[in-house]
Amino acid sequence: MRVVVKDQTNFVPGRSSSGGCYLEVAEYEQISDGRWAVRYWSSSDFDYCPWMGQYQSCEGCFYRSDEDGECEAPQETITLRELLERLAEVANQNYERPRYNPEAVGGYEVVLAE
């Protein structure tokens, strides 16, 4: 099972790759009974770390292997309780369009997938 949380609070279609109005996603995949692996994604064309959920390049990253250049960042995992806490936090967010960007889609979308 997967749970996908899409943060659309600053997302503007057409300006979501290099225009500063990005869609940011957190994906939670069940890996065992009660454990969930976390991976992040952004619609930005800029370097974005799927393991840390930050805009950063692999160049100079602490987790980049000197030998083969591969990422050795540990996979973030959380418990079911932590996942539910994160979902509750999303549910408690204000769903109004952001005042600093009235064009933004706004809000969050939560998708459950097999």
How is the chain split into domains, by residue range? 2-113
Cα–Cα distance between 36 and 83 in angstroms, integer?
8
- Average pLDDT of the residues in 66-72: 90
pLDDT digits (tens, 9 = 90+) for 18-34: 888 999 999 999 999 99
- Average pLDDT of the residues in 31-52: 94
Rounded to 5°, the CA angle 54-58-23 comes to 35
Residue 24's closest CA among 114, 112, 107, 94?
107
Kindly report the pTM of this predicted structure. 0.86
> Does the pLDDT at position 97 exceed 60?
no
Query: Is the distance from CB of 110 to CB of 1 less than 8 angstroms?
Result: no
- Scan for tokens 């959380």, then name that residue: 78
Helix (H) or strand (E) holding 5: strand 2-7
